[in-house]
Amino acid sequence: MAGTTAEESELMYMNSLEQIDLKALMFQTGYLTIKGYSKVSQHYQLGFPNQEVQEAFTKSLIKHFVPINTTVEVESKVALAKYDLASFFDQMHTYLARFPYQLFINVQERTYHGFLLGIMSGMGLEVAAESPSSLGRVDLLVQLPTTTYVMELKLDGHAKKALNQIRERQYYVPYLKKGKEVALVGLNFSSEKRHTVEWVGERLDEQGALT
């Protein structure tokens, strides 16, 4: 929903709750706020007020559309612990497919950040978005007992480019020498297909050497 546009008449429509547009409902309830205005198209650009509101909204969507049962939660944790990324992202693909397509209109990269963050949180994983360090911000950081996952996401780009960004900017360095392996994962999402279309990864030992 972030980045979507609407005319003033759309935002202020409130004649019928059954017919109200989703954008108007979210604007009138405070989930979306005005970020800009185009005099040419006479459309307002909408976005979430802050990251906390976006995360809260995403979690509520996940609770409604993609309830996660205990079996899936355990299987996903085991897949990550075993570095079975194929199984893990197959599960992510299944969950993303359950969201209504309207949520992907004018989608931006951070929308997928929010969806993955919400799904992983729902699985009981210890996950953080845009975790900062002196070397930059990690898109997604997942902490397991024996492995730390450093993930970089791209939209309509290349997974290899995302992985190279992790390497070149050394996002993984703060998590070395902590008694854990560090897994670097580059992801690419397709705005057309609305799910993960490509991922690449590699594992480092706690000293930073490839395993």
**Over its length of 211 residues, how does the chain's per-residue pLDDT go in tens digits?**
555 667 776 766 655 555 556 677 677 777 778 888 887 787 877 777 776 776 677 666 666 666 677 787 888 889 999 999 999 988 888 877 777 666 666 666 777 777 788 888 878 889 988 777 777 889 999 999 999 999 999 999 999 999 999 999 999 999 999 999 999 999 998 888 777 779 999 999 999 999 8
CB atoms within 10 A of CB 11: 19
The residue type at 41: S
Q: What is the pTM of this model?
A: 0.71
Q: What single DSSP character describes residue 96? A: H
Query: Which structure tokens are listed for 25?
Result: 């409902």
Q: Is 140 helix (H, G, I), strand (E, B) or coil?
A: strand
Q: Which residues pair with 45 in a beta bridge?
A: 5, 36
The residue type at 170: Q
Is the Cα dihedral 138, 142, 148, 153 positive or negative?
negative
Question: What is d(CA 63, CA 105) in angstroms, rounded to the nearest whole number?
Answer: 21
